[in-house]
Amino acid sequence: MSKRTDPNRPQNTFCGRTRRREFLTTMGGGFTSLALTGMLGLDGFLGSQTVAADGVSPFQSPLSPKSGHLPGKAKSCIFLFMYGGPSHIDTFDYKPEINRLDGKTVEVKTHGRGGHRNEGRIVGSPWSFKQHGESGAWVSDLFPNVATCVDDIAFLKSMTADSPVHGSAMLMMNSGRILSGNPSLGSWLNYGLGTSNQDLPGYVVMLDKTGGPISGAKNWSCGYMPAHYQATVFRPKGDPIMNLKPYGDMTDAEQRSVLEHLNHFNGEHLADRVDNTELAARISSYELAYRMQTTAPEAVDVDTEPEHVKNLYGLDQERTEDFGRKCLLARRLVERGVRFIQIYSGGAHNDDNWDAHGDLKKNHDYHAGNTDKPIAGLLKDLKQRGLLDETLVVWGGEFGRQPTAEYAKGTGRDHNSMGFTMWMAGGGLKGGETVGETDELGSQAVIDRLHVKHLHATILQQMGLDPNGLTYFYNGLDQKLVGVEGAEPIHQIIA
């Protein structure tokens, strides 16, 4: 983890083999044999191949699995990102007071895209709430299926963030800062832990069918870290990642011929430069690429799943098919050792996501209806496979919504970053717990107030990383996901 790597530390020499003939003899195995990979080992491929941003080279094996600082409960994390800002007071944060005051103009401080206001017309929730499970957690009828899982869920009802504007709030939820250019959560996890499956990317993002969120790729950027840690965008159908198939009319056999001969050329070139591990790494990167052409499509092939599993995720219904497929795919990726998976519900702008400025009911009925069953299916499936303990599931958006109406008429709610709800499940957290409270209208967090950095600290902690010890030296500073001042994980929900 240390960033100030001693530049005098010996680099990998090529397994001590520097004589040309000896080398060529070992190389003779041809492309498809595993001889080369075996010989190089993971270190050969991944070791000492980058120069860090501060110019201190070399870097230690950027993606080989690393043990974290702490014994982590979770091995993977699935972040269900409800882009646009789902309303906490219409989903999980039950506020009977807003129904009592429905339609009345009251004094309440709010701060959204419409700026600061001191009063507003309360909009009661159009959905009814009931208590569920042994924990008695309140859930509105937007999420009838998730409601059956509340005893596995820890609710964070006093979340706060630094901005009530989509772009900067998205960056904050993803990278801890409202300014772009910083590595995202998935990058930090892969930087800290590496990936346990070299045939698949360690950080996967799946977008909504309407498009990416505001600021696009900035949300899954690796910022000032090297490109190993950036996300790969997966598509749930067709080719999951770019450039995964031979181009045009090239056949697999042709590609293999090309690769085998390429290997000979590159082997000859390497023979006079055997101390250069980067050249060897590039040779074996072709082998990995070739393997990914098989492993990646196999990972996304959810059609091989039994019907009852597919139905559990709602693949049998038109409106839940899309998000359900992504959730099921997420489980398959978790099984294959992918470290961090982020799924977006909602994309593009306005009502294509949870940004309910106009008709609250129509918007949230639509987005919750598309995701409720798949989310519950994911939790249940992970649990029945014994994977929930080692998989951290996070649900939430970049902020919540205000108790008051945005406009003179109608039910639309403006953004609210002063108090909102997120939830986490699995990964060694306590189910059935609730931390924090907002005021009686849900306008701001007042008890056990939590910040995005506490959420991030908890994720890092459960994944086995010390949130205040995971640093990356850049721009004269030991940078941290949780900020220079540090942050504690949310101890109340850690089992």
Partner 1 sequence: MSILLAASVTLCGGSLAHAQDEAFFTSKVRPILEANCYECHGAEKIKGGLTIISRAALVEGGEQGPAIDVDHPGESLLLEMISYKDYNHQMPPDGKLGVETVATLTKWIEAGAPWPEDAEFEVTAERESDSSQGRIWEQGKSHWAYQPLKRPDVPKVDDAVWNANPIDAFVRDGLDARGFTPADEAERGALIRRAYYDLIGLPPTPTEVRAFVNAKSDDAWEAVIDYLLASPQYGEKWGRHWLDAVRYADSNGYERDTDKPYMWRYRDYVIDSFNTDKPYSQFIREQIAGDELDDVTAETIVATGYNRLSIWNDEPDDPLLARYDYLDDIANTSAQVMLGMTMGCARCHDHKIDPILQSDYYSFVSFFDNIELPKRGDQKITRSILTPFEQQVYEERVREKDQRVNALVRDKAAFEKRVRKRMPEASGVSDLVELEYRFYRDTWKELPDFDMLRPENAGNVANNYITTSVATRDKAMGIVFEGKLNVPADGEYTFHVRSRDGVRLRVGDGVIIDQPKLGDSKAEGKLALKTGLVPFRIDYFNRAGKPELNVVWSGADFKMRPLSADGSAADAVDFDTLIANLGDEVFEPGERDEYNTLKSDIDKAKKEPVPGKWAAAVAERGNEPPQAHVLIRGNPHVEGDEVAPAFPSVLNPPAPAVVAPTEDSRTTGRRRVLADWIASDDNPMTARVMANRVWQHHFGRGIVRSSNDFGLQGVKPTHPELLNWLAAELVAVDWRLKPLHKKIMISRTYRMASTVNEEALAKDPTNESFWRFNMRRLTAEEVRDSVLNVSGDLDLAMGGPGIYPTLPEAVLSTSSMAHAIWFESPKEKQGRRSIYVHVKRSMLVPTLTDFDFADTDSSCPVRFSTVQPTQALNTLNSRFFNEQASRFAERLRLEAGSDRADQARLALNLATSRKPTFKEIRQSLALMDELEAGGTPKNRVLDRFTLLVLNLNEMMYLD
What whole-number distance in Å separates Cα of residue 127 and Cα of residue 381?
A: 28
Closest distance of CB 163 from partner 1, Å? 4
In the stretch 144-183, what mask flags binding to partner 1 with x, by CB under 8 A? --------------x---xxxxxxx---------xxxx--
Closest distance of CB 451 from partner 1, Å? 8
With contacts defined by CB under 8 A, name the span among 70-78, 134-142, 207-215, 426-434 that binds partner 1. Answer: 207-215
Closest distance of CB 188 from partner 1, Å? 16
Comparing CA positions, the residue from 446, 409, 412 lying closest to residue 114 is 412
Tell me the sheet residues that pair with 79.
342, 394
- The residue among 14 and 143 lying less far from partner 1, judged by its C-beta, is 14
Comparing CA positions, the residue from 471, 457, 184 lying closest to residue 341 is 184
- The residue among 239 and 389 lying less far from partner 1, judged by its C-beta, is 239
- The residue among 130 and 269 lying less far from partner 1, judged by its C-beta, is 269
Task: Show the tokens assigned to 278.
Answer: 């980067």
Asked if 253 is part of the footprint of partner 1 (rule: CB under 8 A), the reply reads yes
Q: Which residues between 210 and 249 bind partner 1 (CB under 8 A)? A: 211-218, 223-224, 226-228, 230, 232-233, 235, 241-249
End-to-end CA distance of the chain: 26
What whole-number distance in Å separates Cα of residue 212 and Cα of residue 483?
A: 27
| Ramachandran region, residue 410 (left: φ > 0; alpha: ψ -120 to 50; beta: rest) | left
Specify the 3-state DSSP secondary structure of 78.
Answer: strand
In the stretch 184-203, what mask flags binding to partner 1 with x, by CB under 8 A? -----------------x--
- The residue among 132 and 364 lying less far from partner 1, judged by its C-beta, is 364
Q: What angle, rounded to 10 degrees, do the helices at 318-335 and 360-384 form?
A: 40
Q: Which residues between 260 and 299 bind partner 1 (CB under 8 A)? A: 261-262, 264-266, 268-270, 272-276, 278-279, 281-283, 285-286, 288-289, 292-293
Asked if residues 137 and 153 have their Cβ atoms less than 8 Å apart, the reply is yes
Q: Which residues between 470 and 489 bind partner 1 (CB under 8 A)? A: 475-477
If you write DSSP's letter for every residue of 44-61 in order, what string do you get?
HHHTT----TTS------
Count the site residues for partner 1 by CB under 8 A.
Answer: 119
In the stretch 439-468, what mask flags binding to partner 1 with x, by CB under 8 A? -----xxxxxxx------------------
- CA distances 198 to 190, 329, 339, Å, are 12, 18, 11
Asked if 410 is part of the footprint of partner 1 (rule: CB under 8 A), the reply reads yes
Asked if 124 is part of the footprint of partner 1 (rule: CB under 8 A), the reply reads no
Q: Which residues between 48 and 87 bind partner 1 (CB under 8 A)? A: 49-58, 62
- CA distances 254 to 247, 249, 257, 260, 287, Å, are 11, 10, 5, 10, 15
Asked if 494 is part of the footprint of partner 1 (rule: CB under 8 A), the reply reads no
With contacts defined by CB under 8 A, name the span among 31-39, 99-107, 320-328, 344-352 that binds partner 1. Answer: 344-352
Closest distance of CB 266 from partner 1, Å? 5
Closest distance of CB 55 from partner 1, Å? 3
What whole-number distance in Å separates Cα of residue 105 and Cα of residue 82?
A: 29
Closest distance of CB 320 from partner 1, Å? 21
- The residue among 10 and 386 lying less far from partner 1, judged by its C-beta, is 10
- CA distances 189 to 264, 355, 418, 467, Å, are 37, 29, 27, 11
- The residue among 75 and 111 lying less far from partner 1, judged by its C-beta, is 111
Closest distance of CB 328 from partner 1, Å? 21
Cis peptide before 58 (omega within 30 of 0): yes
With contacts defined by CB under 8 A, name the span among 44-52, 140-148, 381-389, 459-467 that binds partner 1. Answer: 44-52
Applying CB under 8 A, among 72, 186, 347, 403 the residue interacting with partner 1 is 347
Q: Give the contacts of 470 (CB within 8 A, at least 6 positions apart).
A: 1, 69, 188, 191, 192, 460, 480, 481
Applying CB under 8 A, among 100, 250, 319, 384 the residue interacting with partner 1 is 250
